[in-house]
Amino acid sequence: MTVKVSKATKRDLKRLIEMFSDPDLKTNIDESDWFVHCYFDYHHINVAKVKGEIQGACFWRIEGERYSGLGWIENLWVEEQYRRLNLGERLLRRSIDDMKVFFEKDNKKLRKVVLTTQVERASARKLYEKIGFRNVASLGDMYDPGGHDLVYILDMQGYSSNPASQERPANDRNG
């Protein structure tokens, strides 16, 4: 199976809206439509395609002013049947590399990447930690009433990019 990770295009919007109205994400089609268009119009979206169909996506943005060097992963999602095939890692690494390029255009450096995840998403936390993110805070009742979220930060000084992760056969079932 070959996976292609690339920047989302207008043709991808309908599929992204469908994907992000998944009950596990607690959004309906209208909320998903708003979210996808907001990121497409004002921020950044990378998609992972298998056989030409989107099976995962990573939404990212720059946090604060450019001089701060902060990137933010807003949402990383891989369809259930495509998890553990390295799509999430490829999307995340591609998004981090894109952030680095974004800052370099202004002679700035990406210093840190921030994301949050729900405490019960053990496989997502394992992926983030594999890449080098560290859990730095716990947020009870922040996003989901009664829920518990964790804040993760990747310090770019310790980050090692994996250029081979962008497009290659997905035969590693550990990521």
- Model confidence at 174, pLDDT cuts 50, 70, 90, reads very low
172 falls in which pLDDT band (50, 70, 90)? very low
Query: What local confidence, expressed as pLDDT, does residue 23 receive?
Result: 76
CA 159 vs CA 2, 47, 100, 130, 137: distances in Å = 26, 22, 11, 11, 20
**Number of structural domains found in the chain:** 1
pLDDT score at 126? 96
Residue 170 placed within a domain: no
**pLDDT over 90 at 41, yes or no:** yes
| 167 pLDDT higher than 60 | no
* Residue indicated by tokens 């310090």: 155
CATH number at residue 59: 3.40.630.30
- Is 41 inside any structural domain? yes
Query: Would residue 173 count as lying in a domain?
Result: no
* The pLDDT of residue 162: 63
Which backbone phi and psi does 58 adopt, to 5 degrees?
-130, 125
Q: What are phi and psi of 157, to 5 degrees?
A: -65, -30
For residues 141 and 119, is the Cβ–Cβ distance under 8 A? no
1 pLDDT more than 50: yes
156 occurs within a structural domain: yes
Q: What would the mean pLDDT of 62-89 be, rounded to a whole number?
A: 93
Domain carrying residue 74: 3-165
User: What backbone phi and psi angles, to 5 degrees, belong to 106?
Assistant: -105, 20
Whether the per-residue pLDDT at 22 is higher than 80: the answer is no
Q: What is the pLDDT of residues 84-122, one digit of tens each?
A: 899 999 999 999 999 999 999 999 999 999 999 999 999
User: Residue type at 135?
Assistant: N
β pairing state of 112-118 and 70-78: parallel
Of 36-40, 44-48, 56-60, 169-173, the range with the lowest mean pLDDT is 169-173
